Amino acid sequence: MVIFDLDGTLWNSTVPIAESWNIVIERETGRKGWLTSADIEPVQGKTMDEIADIIFCDFPEEERYRLSRLCEVYENEYITKTGAVLFEGVEETLAELKEKGVQMAVVSNCQEGYVKAFLDSMDMWKYFVDYEEWGRTLLFKADNIKLVMERNGASKGIYVGDIQKDSDAAHAAGIECICAGYGFGEINDAIATINSFGELPAVLEKLGFM
């Protein structure tokens, strides 16, 4: 099974996230233009509570998480309508992998409903057999990776992500990580690196996953 991170690996949603959060923040606090896409990129891959602690650090804890929950809900609705930007070659490569019988899933540290917003808005359901989110299970990413593998009877897996926390989670789950080198961060112990999504099939074949 090949398991994918979402943000920084399959798509870049920093613009619609910032747009949707600004709408909620202005409505709730009166503050306009609080965030830009540049503010969102560094927090991609963190859990929603960790993001709230960074974005809303000036607010008391209770208000911080209240605002975050409101933003999460509206973000899902907003992105379901707008979609975001797939990285070059994503859809074509996913179609190729599916045709070759590769079992694929998505595991993200996002809020509940965010992966569904991705699958709905970009018409991606046909490529993935399963997904899991921090917001649905409140489990660490490593545990969600193991959960998805167990649920689908996968004895062998590999994770594709773009930041060190992705690799750490993969290794904690007992599998290796491929680094999406075009993403938002760096990985220092990946088993392989792809500089574009279209390179993935060749790497998977070399590693014995195809």
Q: What is the CATH number for 154?
A: 3.40.50.1000
Predicted confidence at residue 210, as pLDDT, reads: 80
Predicted confidence at residue 46, as pLDDT, reads: 83
Question: Is 140 found in the same domain as 40?
Answer: no
Predicted confidence at residue 47, as pLDDT, reads: 80
Containing structural domain, residue 106? 2-11+86-206
Predicted confidence at residue 165, as pLDDT, reads: 95
Question: Is 70 found in the same domain as 170?
Answer: no
Question: Is 104 found in the same domain as 194?
Answer: yes
CA–CA dist 210, 204 (Å, integer): 6
Q: Which of 35, 57, 82 is the last residue of a domain?
A: 82
Q: Which of 64, 82, 100 is the last residue of a domain?
A: 82
Predicted confidence at residue 115, as pLDDT, reads: 97
Angle at 13 between CA 62 and CA 27, to 5 degrees: 40
Question: Is 91 found in the same domain as 63?
Answer: no
pLDDT tens, 89-134?
999 999 999 999 999 999 999 999 999 999 999 999 999 999 999 9
Q: Determine the residue type at 112.
A: E
pLDDT tens, 149-181?
999 999 999 999 999 999 999 999 999 999 999
Q: Give the DSSP letter of residue 7.
A: B
Question: Is 181 found in the same domain as 116?
Answer: yes
Predicted confidence at residue 150, as pLDDT, reads: 98
pLDDT tens, 26-81?
999 999 998 999 999 999 878 888 999 999 999 999 999 999 999 999 999 999 99
Predicted confidence at residue 68, as pLDDT, reads: 93
Q: Phi/psi at 13 (nearest 5 deg)?
A: -110, 15
Predicted confidence at residue 124, as pLDDT, reads: 98
Predicted confidence at residue 44, as pLDDT, reads: 84
> Whose CA is closest to 33, among 48, 52, 16, 19?
19
Signed CA dihedral, 147, 150, 152, 155: sign only: positive
pLDDT tens, 9-21?
999 999 999 999 9
Predicted confidence at residue 48, as pLDDT, reads: 81
